Amino acid sequence: MNTENKKPSPLGKGDRKAVDEVFRRAVFFDRDGTLNVDIAYLHRPEDFIWIPGAKEAIKYVNDHGYLAILVTNQSGVARGYYPESDVRHVYDWMNEELQSIGAHLDALYYCPHHPQGSVPAYTRTCNCRKPGTGLIDEACARFHIDRAASYFVGDRESDMLCARNAGLTGLRYDGGSLYDLVQAGISC
C-alpha cells in the first residue's frame, strides 16, 4: 500500500516525462524504532514520540536532494487492532510536524499483512512485508530510484536484510541521534 504527498509540480506539463525518466536517489526510513519510539502497535499521533534527531535527519535528506520515503510493516491492521486509515493518519500527522522545520516525507509505503492475522483480507504471507522487498520495488519503479545510490535506515536486522535484498545501502540505527547517523552515513 502506498500514499504519496501530492505537491504541485513547478514544471510545465511537457516537462513531466523528462523528469520522470531521470533516476533519483532515495533514503527509505523504517518507522517504529527508527523515526519514533517503538511502542506496541502505534496508530495514534498522541502516542507518537520522535526519536532524537529524526526530524533533522529527514530534513538533511530533503536538503541534499534525496527522496525521503517511509517504509513500514503495520501488522496491527491484519491483527484487527486498527484500520489502514490510522496508518495514513499518523503519516499525515508526521508530515504536519515536519513542516515546522521545512522537512517532509515524500511517500508512505506500508504492509498491512501478517500470516497470523485475524482479519481475513490481510491474513497472508506477502513480499511487501519486510524483509521482503515488495514495498521498495514498488517505490523504485514509481519514482525511478537508483538503488545503488540509495539507502535504507532501520533499527532491525530485518530492515538490513531488506536493504541488502533490494540493493540498497543499509544504515542500522542503534540509538542516539538519528541525524548523526544519517549525516555520517549518506554520501552527498
Catalytic site residues?
30, 32
DSSP per residue, 92-113: HHHHHHHHTTT----EEEEE--
In sequence order, the 6+-apart residues with CB closer than 8 A to the CB of 159 are 30, 34, 130, 131, 152, 153, 170, 172
Dihedral sign, Cα of residue 9, residue 50, residue 129, residue 86: negative
CB atoms within 10 A of CB 180: 13
Give 153's strand partners.
29, 171
Inter-residue contact 48 to 172 (CB < 8 Å):
no
The residue with cell 511487501 is: 128
Query: What length is written for the chain?
Result: 188
Does residue 31 contact residue 70 with C-beta atoms inside 8 Å? yes
Q: Which three cell numbers stand for residue 82?
A: 486498527
